[in-house]
A = this chain, B = another copy of it.
Amino acid sequence: MQDNDDTGAGDGTPRPAGWTNNPLILKLESLATLSDDDRAVLERISAKPQLVPAGTDLIREGDKPDGVYLILDGIACRYKLRASGARQIMAYLVPGDYCDLDVAMLKAMDHAIGTLSACQVVRIDLDTIQGLLRDHPGITHALRLATLVDEATLREWLVNVGCRSADERIAHLMCELLLRLRAVGRTAGDGYALPITQEDLADTTGLTSVHVNRMLRSLKQRGLIELSGRQLQILDLDGLEALAEFKPNYLHLGGKEAA
């Protein structure tokens, strides 16, 4: 979908040995160390993704979860709907993210998972997962770490909605996504594709889409960002981070914050 600036491979440039564009591998390697075998297994799992259009539910509230969905491209989300129709988005699933390794322990989903943009998705069935966890301790460890980071991210989102102002919330989200997407090689400098609507952003931050629109304009006017055609460019990362009071410690990135 866009260039991966972290591996520095432009068109025609030969890839270093062991290079991968697989976001799951990149993500897990930002948290832990994988063996060649681990990597091979993960490559095999994500071999045949399926293209899912925007606005599709992968799992609905009340469903019995019967597998894990791994996002390879695009953005999906966890969300809940209120009776009024109000939607709260509780997490973004970006490339390399997956849903609910062991939610199969529970009888029914208490929330839904759906795509915000068109996504490349792999469905991994329970047996495969359990085999993976049984035979690959390195992967298991990395997946557990990733789950802890997901939880920490959820906590940070609560802080975001609970005690930041509208512009700070949006700025914080943008800073977080930059690091998360950079870890999986989906950034270009300080920019990335943000293939979601302002209404999605509103339901994420607990604002209205009208107010999100005004805050985006304000962020642009202050020279912090550029945003058009669903492509975000952060013009002043320091400024944006300062505004959002962004502290990336909760992402627990293992020292791969280069670039």
Contact = CB atoms under 8 A, between A and B. Distances in A.
Contacts of A163: 82, 86-88, 206
A125 interface: no
A16 to B, nearest CB: 28
A161 B88 CA distance: 10
A169 B70 CA distance: 33
B155 A107 contact: no
A86 B162 CA distance: 10
A33 to B, nearest CB: 14
Nearest to A250: B110
A103 interface: yes
A110 B253 CA distance: 12
B252 A88 contact: no
B158 A252 contact: no
A148 B103 contact: yes
Nearest to A204: B162
A102 to B, nearest CB: 7
A159 B158 CA distance: 9
A215 to B, nearest CB: 16
Assign chain A's interface to a size class. Answer: 35 or more
A88 B107 CA distance: 31
24 contacts: A80-B155, A80-B156, A82-B163, A86-B163, A87-B163, A88-B158, A90-B155, A91-B155, A102-B144, A102-B148, A103-B148, A105-B144, A105-B145, A106-B148, A107-B252, A110-B252, A111-B152, A111-B155, A111-B250, A154-B155, A158-B161, A161-B161, A161-B162, A162-B205
Interface of A: 78, 80, 82-83, 86-88, 90-91, 102-103, 105-108, 110-111, 141, 144-145, 148, 151-152, 154-159, 161-164, 205-206, 245, 249-250, 252
In the A-B complex, list the 9 residue pairs whose CB atoms are closest, starting with the nearest. A162-B206, A110-B250, A88-B159, A88-B162, A90-B155, A86-B163, A161-B162, A88-B163, A161-B161
